Structure 1
Amino acid sequence: MVEQLLTTKKRFELPELRTIGGATIRDLAVGYETYGALNEARDNAILVAHYFSGASHAAGRYRPEDPLPGYWDAIIGPGKAVDTIRYFVISSDTLVNFNAHDPNVITTGPASLDPATGKPYGLSFPPVAIADFVRVQRALIDSLGIAKLRAVMGPSMGGLQTFEWAAAYPEMVERIIPVIASPHFTGWLTAWMTIWTEPIRLDPDWRGGAYDRSASPRAGLEAAIRAMTLHGLQSAWSWSAGGRASAEGADPADIAASPFAIDRTLADGARARVPLADANHMLYLARANQTFIPGAGAGAASLAEGMARIKAPTLLIHAPDDLVFRPEWVEATAATLRGQGVAVESATLSGPFGHYNGIVQIAQASDRIADFLARAI
């Protein structure tokens, strides 16, 4: 019988964070989880950074009766690719976490109370960057007495954080595993993220970000989640969601309605997420991704400057039919790193889920991940 991995949410507090934009955030808190044990030498730690709409619940369950484990449970746990008998795994919630109202998430962002006013920050919360997420992680890692990470890894936005770690703190990162992510994205993705979030700004209940939680822009947030979800999937997935069929009892001639089965599937999924998510947090997350430059936390001002700072051996894992971080961008990242002498390996994931193959199909890369982590560098 496979041992069930159980975990608890921990809280990390930072009295003050100076963002790369020059703002100061006080009384900051984020949640984190750990799996396995830190060895005496403190050299077996692996940091896992989460994706855009995810949280630190990367593996295991909080309670044995929980219906689902963490998102990467297929590869994190005793005897798995990221073996928690051998490694100490850390995963933390980001600032401005998408799931700001989930009781299992601890984050600081626009929905948090400003200690100076006692009211939610709203859009007075300073803009934050991926580099700021990593600065908080660095403070957490320091608080645990860890001087060097055996690896940093993560999917999508977690992959961007992985590149930031390698560029901003090269002396602390032994190797990296970015999954379904690339710093070489174009304005095409920038524009897509604006499309994801535009329904929030168009919802009259958004009120320029100054909404009350009891009257939040739910319709706009639901539409935003639907746009994000569909972009992350691939057309083959649509057959499992009804294909082109009409929903039961729907009339395709009703122009005022959304009568198709796939629309209902997306709407039901989005509606389930709205109570735990926050609209302003989604806007801040999108901007942090849109403005990403690796090594920004160390002063890098361009993609080329940031990439030049990366020295860590790299295992790039991507999905060839990914419509979010397209394969040609991942290939450009591999070419850039190889061109500056970095040891780069790659692996691919297949399945009908497009970008989301990096989460739900990650077990396909188990052997590659296990070998890469175990190898002496």
Structure 2
Amino acid sequence: MYKFALIWLVLCLSTVTEGKPASENLLVEKQIFTTHQFELFNGKVLPEVKVGWESYGKLNADKSNAILVTHYFTGTSHAAGKYHSDDETAGYWDAIIGPGKAIDTNRYFVVSVDSLANINAYDENVVTTGPASINPQTNQPWGLDFPVVTIRDFVNIQKAVLQSLGIETLHAVIGPSMGSMQALDWAAAYPEQVKRVISVIGSGESDAWTTAMLEQWTLPIKLDPKWNNGNYAKDHPPVEGLVASLMLITQQALTPAFFNNQGNMLSYAPLERGPLNDINMSHTIVNWLKQRAASRTEKMDANSLLYLARACQLYVAGHQHSLKKGLKRVTAPSLFLPSESDLLLMPYLAEGPHQLLNQSSKLLTLEGQFGHLEGVVNVQQHAEAITTFLNNPVR
């Protein structure tokens, strides 16, 4: 029951704690980084970019103890700690980030950055430049005029944040899901700056299956009449389309075992009276899924979901024409942590780059019935392996 409550929290709030209690004295503050004339991977230029970032621990004198944590698709830079001591939940990886934890903030300076086009564009604790932002040239929201962004662009804005802090090398880059894509691309793009990389519930590229699946996430939004080709007002968004999209994402991020257990808790049955007598009524499990999705939409932007999906579709580590070519420059030791029950980024997507990186790579499997979400709510099952990997010397 406790883990089911945790899953509910991560679905509704995109933050979760499990295992060890939230660090009572790990209070964090959102910082803002601004840059101008930011060139994207496709050659287009954003006149201004603002992103939020936060940090945990202290940077040492020679600035060699920095670890970058890159967040997942619906996540933010709030990886650990709390903004206020009375916050109900801590950052999504609080179980492994903090004093004495796997990523020990007594030893490391941990940084996390809000992505470009962050889906949580209307969250007061998120700072991002994306389609919901104001285009300084028109004084109106960018909408679909916002240029296409890639995983490499997320990496490059993080690099700019780190440079503003005087950080030139990273002890490690680690992230789950879409964050794992950024972590591996960091190692391929800037091998001289990355000493270690940890890919959690990740992949080396978006294969044909994954690209088609990601497209399914975008269709409910595009089919919602209120979407209006991306030209919707903040107070009249395509909520129904966004809810339907989040329903898809949520189900694919979990497993049949989880849903069947949830159905038992709801007393789900195929021949429920409502659906039997009225085509407009849904089963209890469908209502549960829709309610969870709807509870997340208030601070989310539908267009931003489209941009994040496209960034993931365009992903191949190293941003070359093949994964093999893209990974050739990687010199950092790597640790892959796929989830055995993952139906979203299935384990074979981590096994591919692991095999290409050969002797410099290690792979351990996350076990459990929570599918893709094992890498968010249960990553601490490999806390010891993470600690050992971070402590191992590298050449």
Calculate the TM-score normalised by the size of structure 2: 0.91
Q: Quick one: structure 1 residues 254 and 33, their matched pair in 2 at CA, closer, same or farther if it must change by over 3 Å? A: farther
Q: Quick one: structure 1 residues 43 and 118, their matched pair in 2 at CA, closer, same or farther if it must change by over 3 Å? A: same
Question: 2:218: which partner in 1?
Answer: 197
What secondary structure, in the 3-state scheme, does the structure 2 residue paired with 1:215 have? coil
Q: Quick one: structure 1 residues 249 and 8, their matched pair in 2 at CA, closer, same or farther if it must change by over 3 Å? A: farther
What secondary structure, in the 3-state scheme, does the structure 1 residue paired with 2:364 have? strand
Deviations 1:150-174 (A, max 9, x none): 0000000000000110000000000
Q: Which residue among 8, 17, 23 is the counterpart of 2:38?
A: 17
Question: 2:348: which partner in 1?
Answer: 328
Q: Which ranges in structure 1 are unaligned for 5 or more consecutive residues?
A: none
Q: Which residue among 292, 300, 304 is the counterpart of 2:315?
A: 292
Q: Would you identify which runs of 4 or more consecutive aligned residues in structure 1 move more than 4 Å? A: 246-250
What secondary structure, in the 3-state scheme, does the structure 2 residue paired with 1:214 have? coil
CA distance in 2, matches of 1:249, 1:118: 51
Question: 1:278: which partner in 2?
Answer: 301
Deviations 1:70-97 (A, max 9, x none): 0000000000000000000000000000
Q: Which residue among 352, 356, 361 is the counterpart of 1:344?
A: 361
What secondary structure, in the 3-state scheme, does the structure 2 residue paired with 1:251 have? helix
Deviation at 1:186, TM superposition (A): 2.0
Question: 2:331: which partner in 1?
Answer: 311
User: In 1, are the aligned partners of 2:155 and 2:186 still within 8 Å (CA)?
Assistant: yes
Residue type at the aligned position of 1:196: W
Matches within 5 A, 1:51-66: 51-66=72-87
User: In 1, are the aligned partners of 2:206 and 2:316 still within 8 Å (CA)?
Assistant: no
Q: Which residue among 86, 110, 118 is the counterpart of 2:131?
A: 110
CA distance in 1, matches of 2:277, 2:175: 43
Question: 2:157: which partner in 1?
Answer: 136
Question: 1:180: which partner in 2?
Answer: 201
Deviation at 1:185, TM superposition (A): 4.2
What secondary structure, in the 3-state scheme, does the structure 2 residue paired with 1:240 have? helix
What secondary structure, in the 3-state scheme, does the structure 2 residue paired with 1:41 have? coil
Q: Which residue among 360, 369, 372 is the counterpart of 2:386?
A: 369
CA distance in 2, matches of 1:249, 1:336: 50
Deviation at 1:256, TM superposition (A): 2.4
The answer to whether residue 101 in structure 2 is matched with residue 84 in structure 1 is no
Q: Which residue among 180, 188, 191 is the counterpart of 1:167?
A: 188
User: In 1, are the aligned partners of 2:206 and 2:313 still within 8 Å (CA)?
Assistant: no
Deviation at 1:3, TM superposition (A): 4.4
User: In 2, are the aligned partners of 1:44 and 1:150 still within 8 Å (CA)?
Assistant: yes
Residue type at the aligned position of 1:350: E
User: In 1, are the aligned partners of 2:70 and 2:179 still within 8 Å (CA)?
Assistant: yes
Residue type at the aligned position of 1:127: V
Residue type at the aligned position of 2:365: T
Deviation at 1:111, TM superposition (A): 0.4
Question: 1:43: which partner in 2?
Answer: 64
Calculate the TM-score normalised by the size of structure 1: 0.95
Deviation at 1:329, TM superposition (A): 2.1
What is the RMSD computed on CA atoms of the aligned residues?
A: 1.7
What secondary structure, in the 3-state scheme, does the structure 2 residue paired with 1:54 have? coil
Q: Which residue among 260, 272, 276 is the counterpart of 2:283?
A: 260
CA distance in 2, matches of 1:6, 1:251: 47
Matches within 5 A, 1:147-166: 147-166=168-187
What secondary structure, in the 3-state scheme, does the structure 2 residue paired with 1:256 have? coil
Deviation at 1:317, TM superposition (A): 0.6
% identical aligned pairs: 44
CA distance in 2, matches of 1:224, 1:184: 22
The answer to whether residue 85 in structure 2 is matched with residue 68 in structure 1 is no
What secondary structure, in the 3-state scheme, does the structure 2 residue paired with 1:56 have? coil
Deviation at 1:259, TM superposition (A): 2.4
Which sits farther off after the overlay, 329-338 or 143-152? 329-338
User: In 1, are the aligned partners of 2:53 and 2:111 still within 8 Å (CA)?
Assistant: yes
Which sits farther off after the overlay, 247-256 or 231-240? 247-256
What secondary structure, in the 3-state scheme, does the structure 2 residue paired with 1:104 have? coil
Residue type at the aligned position of 1:368: A
Q: Quick one: structure 1 residues 78 and 250, their matched pair in 2 at CA, closer, same or farther if it must change by over 3 Å? A: farther
User: In 2, are the aligned partners of 1:184 and 1:330 still within 8 Å (CA)?
Assistant: no
User: In 2, are the aligned partners of 1:184 and 1:332 still within 8 Å (CA)?
Assistant: no
The answer to whether residue 371 in structure 2 is matched with residue 354 in structure 1 is yes
Q: Which residue among 201, 222, 230 is the counterpart of 1:209?
A: 230
CA distance in 2, matches of 1:138, 1:90: 11
Deviation at 1:213, TM superposition (A): 1.0
What secondary structure, in the 3-state scheme, does the structure 2 residue paired with 1:229 have? helix
CA distance in 1, matches of 2:126, 2:345: 26
Q: Which residue among 148, 152, 167 is the counterpart of 1:127?
A: 148
Deviation at 1:249, TM superposition (A): 8.6
Deviation at 1:39, TM superposition (A): 0.4
Q: Quick one: structure 1 residues 212 and 370, their matched pair in 2 at CA, closer, same or farther if it must change by over 3 Å? A: same
